[in-house]
Structure 1
């Protein structure tokens, strides 16, 4: 009888110790706007989260929620994660910004990291990549390889990130091809393969032969492969479409940042900040340049990548005017981060209006 009592007591102690240990392991949450197999944005965040998990092993617990619409649904999911014991939550889409701020105010002991936004709080950090640096490379290549002098851009939402991408692409296409024009099609979604495919076809119907996509799926490249035309991988390398229609790509490298921020939680050194990193920091990668790109053009693009990484060149360097012809940047003047972060205008030469 005593032996049974001792065994039962030992089992209870072991269970209690196990529960205490489990409680001591930080729970790290990730929320994605699309499926984790979208081939682009959400998949790359997920793969980076998995690399982070592999790095820390049993020191952390990972929880993920995919295909969460921006808005009220996001706020509900974040609330459930916080109630479920999450210590740090990464919210990986621009439209999660206000839901993140709202939920963070209700859970001051939970830390939040919001991707691509600009609002912060004591327990909310913001982080983003300087995608416009990669768009400069894509625009440079597009201006060289277009045969119709018409390039196209699939825009998701008219937020500064996307507007910067359009402007950077056009500026650098125009530098190497003064006759180039750019057409923008807005799809009002981050991930909708059918809409992305239709937008690609609409651009091709306008005579566009090079398409840059600021959406999350591989649908634009699939259409270009079938119908003809060139394009770029977005958020992920999408190398399965190389050597063409995919001739290069912008690759989001989130894993080092995730490892750094989770380590800060483990160390007790996490603090709110706002970070914006680019090619030089390793957060923006440029995929191998393939397809019908001449060797000398490839070499020039690679030199531009090096110059951007070192700080020797900034993609928004004057002289540049706004769309209405008014002066913006004088010769040699570089755009400041504040203007770029809130960019709400096209540069001269881009046609059409930005949706409100």
Structure 2
């Protein structure tokens, strides 16, 4: 009788331990290239992290590291997260690609998700947004709203994602304003408000009265507000930094994807995938239009957005030549994803040399 009681107690202990183990929260980590208070790229990723917590409650435990430089520091941060028991890690900048692959190989039981990259493994997925679709929409607005026919563009790094955006915006602006010119300043950083502000001022000195950007702080929007010109929000709406300057914005919506991927981890269906979502998927949002935009122009931009969603409009549809005049896309031909993902050239009409 005593033996049976001990066996029962042992069984109950085992069941209790198993239940406790099953109740352990899924540990999910996020690594950001900028501060969560950048009000741009990293801010929106962190808003999505908080949405994951709101969705799953105590079933999930999230953490993040902010302002992690690309390169060796990223590798150390990744290894630290993997060693501390994280089950799923999101690495949210292009320059984290090789560190992610390296650490993932060392921790095959940990799942990784890399934003804007193209290298995958059995435990590494990639995801990104077709920001160039949004660039087309706001490019139409910029092309008609400029009075000087000069649009300034602040670029971070000359990687395909950024080059695609410049080309898409230019082609759209040119389609409604044949006289438009783009002035581009490369700042070689994702987040540096000082450099971004200096770039905005330099572009204004060159005659730009509309500023676009592919950097992460609202510094350019602030400068545009001070100087009485127009600008567009990047990654988040940024209206609070330029209530008079802001015409619209491209808004990153990561929450649905993060919630879905965390859910896949919980139900055991996670697998390595590649996701490239656009306006139609909701990953790319277009902010409301300023009342400074004429109604007919707002209608034109809205129609373009709806045509992209319907699959009736592709921002890269020929005829389009490369900057050197060589043919790229014939009339009616659209660019394939492989070419877009590796885009390393300006289209015809853009002045200046693309940095290597």
TM-score by length of 2: 0.94
Q: Is the 8 A contact 1:117 1:127 kept in 2?
A: yes
Matches within 5 A, 1:198-213: 198-213=198-213
Contact preservation (8 Å) 1:119, 1:126? yes
Task: State how far apart, in whole Å, the 2-side matches of 1:154 and 1:121 are.
Answer: 33
Q: Residue 175 of structure 1 aligns with which residue?
A: 175
Matched with 2:6 is: none
For residue 140 of structure 2, what is the aligned residue in structure 1? 140
- Structure 1 vs Structure 2 CA RMSD: 1.6
Structure 2 CA distance for aligned equivalents of residues 242 and 308 of structure 1: 28
- Correspondences of 1:303-342 after superposition (within 5 Å): 303-342=303-342
Q: Is it true that 1:62 corresponds to 2:62 in the alignment?
A: yes
Cα distance between partner residues in 2 of 1:153 and 1:18 = 57
Counterpart in 1 of 2:30? 30
Distance 1:48 1:26 in 2: 16
User: Is the CA contact 2:235–2:250 (under 8 Å) kept in the aligned structure 1?
Assistant: yes
Structure 1 residue 18 displacement after superposition: 10
**Contact 1:246-1:291 at 8 Å conserved across structures:** no
Matches of 1:35 and 1:264, distance apart in 2: 28
> What does residue 195 of structure 1 align with?
195
Q: Which residue of 1 aligns with 2:39?
A: 39
For residues 272 and 170 of structure 1, what CA distance do their matches in structure 2 show? 35
Alignment gaps of 5+ in structure 1: 1-8
Deviation at 1:265, TM superposition (A): 0.3
* Runs of at least 5 residues in structure 2 that lack an aligned partner in the other structure: 1-8
Q: Report the alpha carbon displacement of residue 293 of structure 1 after superposing the two structures with TM.
A: 1.1
Bigger drift between 234-243 and 76-85 goes to 234-243
Report the TM-score, using the length of structure 1 for normalisation: 0.94
Check whether the contact 1:244–1:291 (CA below 8 A) recurs between aligned residues.
no
- Look up the match of 1:83: 83
Please name the residue that 1:6 is paired with: none
More displaced 10-residue stretch of structure 1: 234-243 or 134-143: 234-243
C-alpha deviation, 1:134, in angstroms: 0.4
CA contact (8 A) 2:210 2:230 kept: yes
Cα distance in 1 between the residues matched to 2:243 and 2:18: 52
- Offset of 1:105 from its aligned partner? 0.6
- Shift of the 19–226 alpha-carbon distance from structure 1 to 2, 3 Å rule, reads farther
In 2, distance between residues paired with 1:24 and 1:310?
Answer: 43
Give the Cα separation in 1 of the matches to 2:204 and 2:118. Answer: 35
Shift of residue 26, structure 1, vs aligned partner: 1.2
